[in-house]
A and B are shown apart, each in its own frame.
Chain A
Amino acid sequence: MRLTWLVLAGAMALPALLPQPAVASPPRFDTAEGAEGQPDQARGWDDPPGIEDEDVALFIPRAVLLLPRLVLSAVFWLPKQGFKLIDHYHLVERTERILFFDEAHYFGWMPLVSYQSGYGPTGGAKVFHNALFGHDESLSVSGVYGGRYTQGYRLTFKSDRTGGSRLWLDVQGRYEAEPGLLFGGIGIVEQNAAGSDLNPRDSNELTFLAQQRALGLIRAGYTAGQRRELVKFGGSVIFNHREFTRNSVGKRQLASVYDPTEVPGYEDQVNTLELQANLIVDLRENRGLDTRGTYLEGFIGGVPELDQYAYLHYGFELAHTIDLYRTTRLLRLRVALEAVEGDTARIPFTDLPRLGGSQRLRGYREAQFRDARASLAGIEYEYPIHESVRGLLFIEAGYVAEHYRDLVKLDRWKVGYGGGLLIGSESNIAFQLDLAYGDGFHVYLSTDLAQAFDGRSEQL
């Protein structure tokens, strides 16, 4: 290898081996000679050059562009003053000190900003520590307001190797008040039925409801292997409490279209305790830009017959990246399946697998489709624009159905496609913008996508 490099370099340098001037040749000029001149008069023009024809020709476009230039100068005045202030008051450094509580930047807080079509902007903040016990254990507490949430709070602890051991531990506590969640019936119908008190299987009319939800999750297991060949298996206990009321966003109420008695759980508080067995195979090289490798997540479990709800719940997600060119052009293939089994009257409508939104089928609204089975397939192409920016093109297709036999009717699948931008580094993604088209244009913007795939898998 070294020899190859040397030969190549030598070949390039060959012409330089041709005759060289002799050392100690007489001076080409002597700067001590003559008189000193003025710095801007050394050329000594008697009759200086005139104006080049092409510069003369530019007189008219320059005159035309004068006004835009002046306008632009006015527009840039504010950013320029902003730049000055940032420097003068060391605002970058001060912000860094405000955001991070330690020099290693493990411990700090971040503002959260996101935007989702149909909900609008959400803002909030997250306090985090990414090395709680010194082995990349991540603890975070966040609060968000606006958009989808009246308020939402989340406490998360995640660790593949807790305290340096093999213990895989995820703990999550959440409280969310959502004033206008979408409900568009159950399943996908060819033609919406008209009227009110409809069976949710007869229409996909979009309606809205308010939800208050509390969730507690503990997942524990064993971590085998290192990064790039990580296998985790374990079990989870998930407690969910949900209460539903009329939506407070002034949109069409669920009860004005659908028969509430046919929407399991809507008129009651829903309390479920779900037990799961989990497996994650994570062969990805990194979790930021240019993510490549394979990621598989699967689970099986269900809600035991302790209360009025009981069902079996399982699913998987598989993502694999094909390197098209030197890890700069990547083709990411993704398939996911999620299903529940049981008496439909004993499965809360909220626990039916869903499609739509920023993580699953971006061309449609969040949770626009739901049924006992949901399947999704997608192709995402990532290409380089800037050292910290990647472009995305994607196409996704998915379907929800009561029975597996309906899932294979591919002509019925809902298709969404679009493009986007990722901004970040190899280790995380700081910003993602997706523009998607399915049944209309949808915009998703997020500054909290450090877990590109993890976020998607959380939907399972």
Chain B
Amino acid sequence: MNRQGQLVLGLLLGGCVSSPTFKDQPVIWRVNDRQDMAKPQTNEFERIQYFGEVLVVGPIEHGLGLPDKQPARNVNALDEVPDSTWFTNRLGAHDLTPAEAARGPVTAGPPQLPLTVIRGKDTGGGNPGFFARDATQRTFLIKFDTKQNPEMQTASSVVVNRVLWAVGYFVPEDTLVTFAREQLTLSPDAKTLTPTGVKVKLTETDVDRVLATGPKTTDGRYRASASLLLPGTPVGGFDPEGRRDDDPNDLVDHEDRRELRGLKVLAAWLGHTDMKMDNTLDMYIEENNKHFLRHYLLDFGEALGAHQAEKGRLEDGWENVWDWAEQTKALLTFGLWKRPWEEQTQTPWPSIGAFSSRYFEPDLWKEAYPFSPFAEADKSDQYWGAKQVVRFTRPMIEAIVAEAQLSDPEAAKYLVDALLGRRWKIGRDWLDALTPFDDFKLVGNELCGVDLAVRHGITREGALVQSDDSGRIVDERLVARDGSVCTPLPKAKYAVLRLRIRRGREVRPELQVHYSSEPTPHIIGVIRQPL
């Protein structure tokens, strides 16, 4: 029955609906969205149209529609994201060593000098840069820091790249490169596009102008981020809402994809406010004689406070660029309302700016340009994202931040601590908001798992409570110091374990684990946030 039918039926029945059940089948950990397809049209990023839609028209139309909250539509029976052309489980599936996290997607390392500029940068955000070929004939997009905030954007591009890769997103191979002016030459065929789309010859003056926008290192060299060109043919970014009409593999509306909704949590953690279609890219690739799209996230140079610093807007991370609710409230309260971002202060490091954990409140976090999947994210999506975030350990974060090669060790240490502080708040607000009992396995006649909030240091203690259908408590066990805890299994062909984590007097919402004991005990499905 479609949703309209359900709605009518729901009205007739006064909203009374039956409890959902799962098919008794193996959990799906991979989906096949790699069916052979013709090359789709390029989805151009039309800047004014996009911003007009997401900042002005969209919020009004969306608000009047009174849309209901739909759960994510691409999760599996365990409420996890199966591997696809959008996402590959890494940190969720298994722990990563700090070295693995630091290496990230990088296979062949940073560009080998010298570099040859082969064309101007007419894509990849508004910051100055160019495309250059290195000594091994690989092509990179080279981008620079701003003079006001040396090392900030280049550091962010590497740190965020590694984090998102570790979680499972497809990202380019981003590295850092430092070069002297004489190690940069200009190809005689190099061209660039003018702002009005006219192709013109790229000159040494143009290159020098780009270099002049960035700071130099103490030894007079240039530090830049280098993003290796992705394999395949680019066909534009993916729309935050809806699907590609010409992609038969695109079967789930993007705003209903768990990995895009849960990305909100990672974006909040990393201060990645510059989340927009222009910072995504679909590549038309060939694998095993099949052609299909792979969906990438890219251009992370404006996270970790860089978007805030570059645009000079302290409200970045708290308010959309055009925020109807907050800014109307500000207009009508005549400045008497002290907005939550106003107390922020700059750190002593230009490479860090005002990025901090002190003023970060996960529930107040907003991206700069409304991104539909973030708006649709519900508690289960936030839980999934938070679960990824808390799995980053201090050694992993230290190793990732070390990749950013910040010249001031104190700044690097501060950044690690700030990320850990924000991680803790995310765990508190978005992980421990539901029953954070996870990583299930069946041991004898018990369902065992981990209280992730205890395991990852968000809180110190808890108890796992099992109740029956009438709400009567049938079992209660204290969570061990490492977060592990078990609960007895009922004997039934299809049973629903109703579990809650209790912390002192506070009890988290019910988690349903659907289970069957036949032919052998196995978990059929999980509902994190029942209706």
Q: Is the CB of A37 within 8 A of B7?
A: no
Contact segment of B17-25, B136-144, B152-160, B233-241? B17-25
A6–B413 CB distance below 8 A: yes
Decide: A1 and B28 in contact? CB cutoff 8 A: no
The answer to whether B46 touches A391, judged by C-beta atoms less than 8 angstroms apart, is no
Partner of A391, one of B23, B84, B335, B527: B335
Give the residues in chain A near B525, CB-CB below 8 Å: 43-44
Give A67-105 as 1s and 0s: 1 = Cβ < 8 Å from B's Cβ atoms.
011001100100110011011101011101100000000
Contacts A6-B414, A34-B27, A51-B6 given: A83-B33 contact, CB under 8 Å? no
Q: Which residues of B contact A79 (CB under 8 A)?
A: 52, 56-57
In the complex, B423 has a CB within 8 A of chain A: yes
Contact for A47 among B7, B20, B342, B357, CB less than 8 A: B20
A16 at the interface (CB under 8 A from B): yes
A9 an interface residue at 8 Å Cβ cutoff? yes
B246 within 8 A of A: no
Q: How far is the CB of A190 from chain B (nearest CB, A)?
A: 35
B313 in contact with A387 (CB, 8 Å): yes
Chain B residue at smallest Cβ distance from A326: B342
Known A-B contacts A8-B358, A34-B29, A87-B47; the reply to A50 vs B10 at CB < 8 A is yes
Q: Give, as a whole number of angstroms, the nearest-CB distance from B82 to chain A.
A: 5
What's the nearest-Cβ distance from chain B to residue A80, in Å? 6
The answer on a CB contact under 8 Å between B6 and A93 is no
Chain A count of residues within 8 A CB distance of the other chain: 88
Flag if A69 contacts B65 (CB, 8 Å). yes
A384 at the interface (CB under 8 A from B): yes
Q: Does B330 contact A (CB under 8 A)?
A: yes
Contact in complex: A32, B29 (CB < 8 Å):
yes
Q: Which residue in B20, B49, B75 is a CB contact (below 8 Å) of A83?
A: B49
Judged by a CB distance under 8 angstroms, whether B182 is at the interface is: no
Chain A residues near B323: list those with CB within 8 A.
386
When C-beta atoms are compared, the residue in chain B nearest to A6 turns out to be B414
Docked Cα-Cα span, A160 to B84, in Å, equals 64
Contact A87 B68 (CB under 8 A): no
Q: Is A411 an interface residue (CB 8 A)?
A: no
Would you give the shortest CB distance from A2 to chain B, in whole angstroms?
5
A67 to B530, CA, bound (A): 33
Instruction: Report whether A72 and B64 are in contact in the complex, using a CB–CB cutoff of 8 Å.
Output: yes
Cβ distance B417 to chain A, nearest Cβ, rounded Å: 3
- Per-residue 0/1 for B75-89: is the Cβ within 8 Å of any A Cβ (1 yes, 0 no)? 111101011100011
Stretch at the interface among A20-28, A149-157, A192-200, A444-452: A20-28
Is the pair A30, B93 in contact by a Cβ cutoff of 8 Å?
yes
Interface status of B500 (Cβ within 8 A of chain A): no
Cα A37 to Cα B24 in complex, Å, equals 14
CB atoms of A31 and B29 under 8 A apart: yes
* Contact, CB under 8 Å: A33 / B327: no
B29 with A2: CB separation less than 8 A: no
The residue that A90 contacts in the complex, of B60, B196, B531, with Cβ under 8 A, is B196
Check A328 for interface membership: any CB of B closer than 8 A: yes
> Closest approach, in angstroms, between the C-beta of A92 and any C-beta of chain B?
7
Contact A87 B32 (CB under 8 A): no
- One digit per residue, 1 when the CB lies within 8 angstroms of any chain A CB and 0 when it does not, for chain B 56-72 equals 11001100111011010
Contact B66 A65, beta carbon cutoff 8 Å: yes
Does the CB pair B28–A42 fall under 8 Å?
yes
For the complex, is A458 an interface residue (Cβ under 8 Å from B)? no
Let me know if B48 and A86 touch, CB within 8 A. yes
Q: Among A53-61, A249-257, A264-272, which stretch is in contact with chain B?
A: A53-61
With the chains together, A31 CA to B83 CA distance in Å? 7
Our pick among B18, B53, B80 for the contact of A29 (Cβ within 8 Å) is B80
> CB distance A385 to B6 under 8 Å?
no
Known: A39-B31, A56-B15, A62-B66. A44 touches B356 (CB 8 A): no
| B26→A96 contact, CB < 8 A | no
| Interface pair B60/A16, CB less than 8 Å apart | no
Tell me the bound Cα distance from A389 to B92 in angstroms: 44
Pair B393/A5 contact, Cβ less than 8 Å: no
Stretch touching chain A among B123-131, B279-287, B298-306, B451-459? B451-459
B11 in the interface, Cβ–Cβ < 8 Å? yes
Task: Give the one of B15, B53, B395 with max A CB within 10 A.
Answer: B15
Q: Pick the contact of A20 from B97, B421, B456 — CB < 8 Å?
A: B456
Closest to A19 in B: B482
Chain B's closest residue to A421 (CB) is B331
Residue B410 interfacial (CB < 8 Å): yes
Answer whether residue B418 sits at the interface, using C-beta atoms and an 8 A cutoff.
yes
User: Which A residues touch B26, using CB under 8 A?
Assistant: 33-35
Enumerate chain A residues within 8 angstroms of B327, measured Cβ to Cβ. 385-386, 389
- Residues of B with C-beta under 8 A to A26: 94
User: Once the chains bind, are B60 and A387 in contact (CB under 8 Å)?
Assistant: no
Known contacts A31-B93, A80-B53; A13 and B357 CB within 8 A of each other: yes
Residues 419 to 465 of chain B near chain A (Cβ within 8 Å):
420-425, 439, 455-458, 460
A46 lies within 8 A of chain B by Cβ: yes
Q: Are A58 and B29 in contact (CB under 8 A)?
A: no
Decide: A46 and B97 in contact? CB cutoff 8 A: no
Q: Is B348 an interface residue (CB 8 A)?
A: yes
Name the CB-closest residue of B to A92. Answer: B48
Given contacts A17-B394, A31-B29, A384-B335, contact A46 B420 (CB under 8 A): no
Decide if A39 touches B531 in the complex (CB within 8 Å): no
Docked-complex contact A36 and B31, CB < 8 angstroms: yes
Interchain CB contact under 8 A, B197 and A90: yes
Q: Is the CB of B83 within 8 A of A58?
A: no
Contact between B11 and A56, CB atoms less than 8 A apart: yes
- Whether the Cβ atoms of B394 and A16 lie closer than 8 Å is yes
Docked CA distance A325–B56 (Å)? 30
Whether B348 pairs with A5 at a CB distance below 8 angstroms is: yes
Name the B residues within 8 Å of A8 (CB-CB).
356, 358
Is B347's beta carbon under 8 Å from chain A? yes
CA A5 to CA B65, docked complex, whole Å: 46
Decide: B94 and A27 in contact? CB cutoff 8 A: yes
A52 close to chain B: CB less than 8 A:
yes
Q: How many Å lie between the Cα of A19 and that of B24 in the bound state?
A: 37
CB–CB B358/A12 < 8 A: yes
In the bound complex, residues from chain B placing their C-beta under 8 Å from that of A393 are: 334
**Contact assessment for B10 and A56 in the assembled complex, using a CB-CB cutoff below 8 Å:** yes
| A18 contacts chain B at the CB level, 8 A cutoff | yes
Smallest Cβ-Cβ distance to B530: which chain A residue: A49
Contact residue among B30, B331, B342 (Cβ-Cβ distance under 8 Å from A36): B30
Residues in A whose Cβ lies below 8 Å from that of B195: 90, 93, 96-97
Task: Write the chain A residue with the least CB distance to B89.
Answer: A31
A43 and B76 contact, CB distance less than 8 A: yes
A61-B66, A381-B335, A385-B331 are known contacts. Are A80 and B52 too (CB-CB below 8 A)? yes
Instruction: Give the chain A neighbours of B7 by CB distance below 8 A.
Output: 51, 55-56, 59
A73 to B57, CA, bound (A): 9
With A13-B424, A329-B335 as contacts: A30 and B29 at CB distance below 8 Å: yes
9 additional contacts (CB under 8 A) given A32-B29, A55-B7, A59-B11: A6-B417, A16-B424, A29-B29, A29-B93, A37-B31, A39-B74, A39-B84, A43-B77, A325-B338
Chain A to chain B contacts (Cβ below 8 Å), 7 pairs: A5-B414, A23-B97, A44-B22, A49-B530, A62-B66, A87-B48, A391-B331
By Cβ-Cβ distance, the 6 closest A-B pairs, closest first, are A50-B17, A383-B335, A12-B421, A18-B457, A9-B417, A13-B420
